[in-house]
Copies of this chain bind each other. A is one copy, B any other.
Amino acid sequence: MESEPAQSANRAVTLRDVAKLAGVSIATASKALNNQPQVRAETRARVIRAAEQLSFSPNTLAQGLITQRSGTVGLLTSDLEGRFSIPILMGAEDAFGSDQTSVFLCDARGDAVREKHHLRALLSRRVDGLIVVGARPDARASLGRDLPVPVIYAYSPSADPDDLSLVTDNVGGGRLAVDHLIRHGRRRIAHITGDETYGAAQDRARGALERLGEEGLALAGEQVWFGSWSEAWGRGATRMVLQRTPDVDAIFAGSDEIARGVLDTLHQENLDVPGKVAVIGFDNWNILAANARPPLSTVDMNLEQLGRLAAQRLFAAIDGTLEGGVETVGCRLVIRESS
């Protein structure tokens, strides 16, 4: 559609023009027009006067803010299988619609040299911000505070509390799993989980124990069975739990891989799932959970929601400031047929 000449003239006015006329930086002009607190009243007044003088309307203002961004976010990951990063990537893109944001994923493979190289490559491509996803949900080194774009740590928190980290509420996830089992009448609940050096393993166990404690219940199998994040461990630990507590009526597994091993041993022992023993996993990794026999109930970490939140915080930070700290994202139950 052809537009009127007067409108065309209006459209050509950018935030850059307003900033220039007011004698401030584009960032300051943006903050002033967005009513953000970091701008002095006198500066704000000067920017608003300039905007009025140039007929810079709220509508063109919005356009100006959008064009200030490149619409591109870098996702720096060390999650080799893409298992946690891909849902976070999808959530981040969904936060702004399919034709407005691209997330570029770079895999650092836990290698500091490669991470540095990727970081340089992404920054030189003018990404608007960075999302950093670690290989495991424990604190990782900060990229530092002197980068030209905002950085958000997702899944693995930054070791620097001044950075913003978005992480899974693993304590809440553990509570959810056990709460579900209790509400379905289970009382002798065992917990088989992964490597005890993982904060996530500790947190999930803590949530499970808290919820059991509220019902006056103890853990079946006498202890938390820490081991490795593998099917083999799920198989072996289930055998040990059955020896110590033959009447166990539910097993909460710390990952879907472990849960697959639990199911395998229960089948070998001819124990019906869920008739005799209910099983619930953690991760909702579709390939393992949906295809299990029977299909596996599990706890989903809502990683896409975590990605959406990361994108929203990033874009807010581009126009304003980024507050440090750790925010948690809640889990949800995905109930299939094993519980």
Contact = CB atoms under 8 A, between A and B. Distances in A.
| Residue from A86, A90, A113, A122 whose CB has the most chain B CB atoms within 10 Å | A86
A114 B99 contact: yes
Interface residues of A, number: 46
A104 B107 contact: no
A232 B291 contact: yes
Given A82-B81, A109-B90, A291 B102 contact: no
Contacts of A83: 81-82
Nearest to A124: B70
Contacts of A113: 98-99
Interface centre among A90, A109, A118, A257 (most CB of B within 10 A): A118
B114 A231 contact: no
Interface string A98-114: 11101111110101011
A293 interface: yes
Contacts of A230: 291
A16 interface: no
A102 B121 contact: yes
B102 A105 contact: no
A210 B256 CA distance: 39
Contacts of A137: none
A291 B257 CA distance: 9
Contacts of A287: 81, 257, 287-288
A287 B257 CA distance: 8
A68 interface: no
A102 B106 contact: yes
A64 interface: no
Nearest to A107: B89
A126 interface: yes
Q: How many copies does the complex hold?
A: 2
Interface in A85-137: 85-86, 89-90, 93, 98-100, 102-107, 109, 111, 113-114, 116-118, 121-122, 125-126
A288 B232 CA distance: 12
Nearest to A286: B81
B86 A107 contact: yes
Nearest to A106: B102
A288 B291 CA distance: 12
B107 A106 contact: no
A45 interface: no
Interface of A: 71-72, 80-83, 85-86, 89-90, 93, 98-100, 102-107, 109, 111, 113-114, 116-118, 121-122, 125-126, 230-232, 235, 257, 260-261, 264, 267-268, 287-288, 291-293
23 contacts: A72-B125, A81-B83, A81-B287, A82-B82, A82-B86, A86-B107, A90-B107, A90-B109, A98-B117, A99-B117, A102-B121, A104-B121, A104-B122, A105-B105, A105-B106, A105-B107, A231-B292, A231-B293, A232-B291, A261-B291, A267-B268, A287-B287, A287-B288
